Amino acid sequence: MKKIGIITTGGDCSGLNAVINSAATGVWKRGWRIYGILDGTDGLAASKPHIVEITPDTMPPETARLAGSVLRNGRPDATNFISAEKNGHLAQFNKSIKKSLHELNLDALILVGGNGSLSLAWTTREIYSDLQLICIPKTIDMDIPLTDKTIGFDTAVQQLTSFCDQLMMTARSHHRWFVVQSMGRECGQLALHAGIASGATAILMPEIKFNTSDLIKHIQKSKTDYGVILVSEGIKMRGHSGRPADMISRELDKAGISNRTAYPEHTQRTGDTTACDRILAARFADCALHAIENNETYVMTALQDNICKTISLDDVINAGHPMPDPNIHGLVISNACVEPDNKMLHIAQEMGIYIGKTK
């Protein structure tokens, strides 16, 4: 009988409980046992690993719709990779994780994480040398290379779209523009998709250069005197500092354009998990379990052209745009972004949305 572990790491999002539920259902069907690791790698590195066996009683089907993770992703006051690096204890932290995995005697570990977690797993892969490591990509940023979708993205788009929809009516009532700042870090996918869905007047992304003068002219020429300008949190403006939405708002003020800023913040990580994310979670969980049966390791589940498959973590790391991690020395994160040939850029332009300077 195989013993499978499952862990959620990094930032939370909707869809984590859906993938845990789907993985557990597949494990029970195979006659295996599955154990959830609580509090991410923090719980795994504890002197006594924080684990719980997942059963139909502890993980009923209705939990699949809930945001966040029933296993939790980590405690702010616990030692983790970042704090261990800061305090010079990273080597000991890694040894603690490997020791815990050895004591748990797992056959495989399913790691559900974002690009930082997956890059870190590959960098510290020796920790997982005694078992099969299967990774499942989750992030609202959709910044993981070689997969067309990540768990949590679809729900985040819905949440951000709903937020913008609500603002549109008060914007109309007051003949006002709302500058909405989205999450996404260095990737503009979330802003791009939600901006198209909500009918934003402009979408500003880290990947595409823009000119505030052109933005203002676009707004002034708009057929309405209200709307939403969606700004991804990763944009930069030379000579400006502060939050991106505030920077854009100040420029609109100078041009005499009535506006307010709005910050959906962590509501983008919440909300009932959409059907699309639940289905993706089920497909990734099924793919992960087949990978375990096939004795695969150091792989990530991916969706490519609507086909679910596994690809090596090595390929994932080497396919992205490398970015140094600001908190862990020597760690390079594999990052995906909105590429110039992204079809959604063309759609946005066809809708008359200002997105900046494209080729």
pLDDT at position 58 is 86
Confirm whether 331 is domain-assigned: no
- What's the CA angle centered on 247, arms 322 and 210, to 5 degrees? 60
What is the identity of the amino acid at 76? P
What's the pLDDT tens digit per position in 98-154?
A: 999 999 999 999 999 999 999 999 999 999 999 999 999 999 999 999 999 999 999
Looking at the structure, tell me whether residues 9 and 135 fall in a common domain: yes
31: left (phi over 0), alpha (psi -120 to 50) or beta: left
Looking at the structure, tell me whether residues 141 and 29 fall in a common domain: yes
What's the pLDDT tens digit per position in 236-268?
A: 999 899 999 999 999 999 999 999 999 999 999
| pTM listed for this prediction | 0.97
**Whether the predicted pLDDT of 269 surpasses 80:** yes
Residue 337 and residue 206 in contact, taking contact as beta carbons nearer than 8 Å: yes
How distant, in Å, are the alpha carbons of 71, 214, 228, 233, 339 from that of 188? Answer: 29, 19, 16, 9, 10
What's the pLDDT tens digit per position in 198-235?
A: 999 999 999 999 999 999 999 999 999 999 999 999 99
**Selection from 247, 210, 243 nearest residue 353 by Cα:** 210
Q: Which of 80-89, 223-232, 323-332 shows the highest mean pLDDT?
A: 223-232
Looking at the structure, tell me whether residues 245 and 232 fall in a common domain: yes
Looking at the structure, tell me whether residues 141 and 284 fall in a common domain: yes
How distant, in Å, are the alpha carbons of 7, 53, 308 from that of 70? Answer: 10, 12, 25
pLDDT at position 216 is 98
Q: How confident is residue 286, by pLDDT bands cut at 50, 70 and 90?
A: very high
What's the pLDDT tens digit per position in 23-40?
A: 999 999 999 999 999 999
Contacts of residue 60, Cβ cutoff 8 Å, sequence gap at least 6: none
Residue 160 and residue 194 in contact, taking contact as beta carbons nearer than 8 Å: yes
Number of H-type helices and E-type strands within the chain: 12, 13
194 three-class SS? helix
Domain count of the fold of the chain:
2
Looking at the structure, tell me whether residues 59 and 104 fall in a common domain: yes
pLDDT at position 78 is 85
Comparing 59-73, 205-219, 305-319, which segment has the lowest mean pLDDT?
Answer: 59-73
Say which DSSP state 151 is in.
B
Residue 41 and residue 7 in contact, taking contact as beta carbons nearer than 8 Å: yes
Looking at the structure, tell me whether residues 82 and 218 fall in a common domain: no
Looking at the structure, tell me whether residues 174 and 147 fall in a common domain: no
User: Looking at residues 42-57, what average pLDDT do you find?
Assistant: 92
CATH code (residue 196) = 3.40.50.460
pLDDT at position 77 is 83
Looking at the structure, tell me whether residues 147 and 238 fall in a common domain: no
Place of tokens 């497909």: 283
pLDDT at position 297 is 98
Which residue range(s) make up the domain with 192?
157-269+340-350
β-strand 132-137 against 108-113: which pairing, if any?
A: parallel
Confirm whether 332 is domain-assigned: no
Residue 181 and residue 243 in contact, taking contact as beta carbons nearer than 8 Å: yes
* End-to-end CA separation in angstroms for the chain: 56
pLDDT at position 347 is 98
Q: How confident is residue 359, by pLDDT bands cut at 50, 70 and 90?
A: low
Looking at the structure, tell me whether residues 34 and 175 fall in a common domain: no
Confirm whether 200 is domain-assigned: yes
Contacts of residue 331, Cβ cutoff 8 Å, sequence gap at least 6: 119, 120, 123, 324, 325
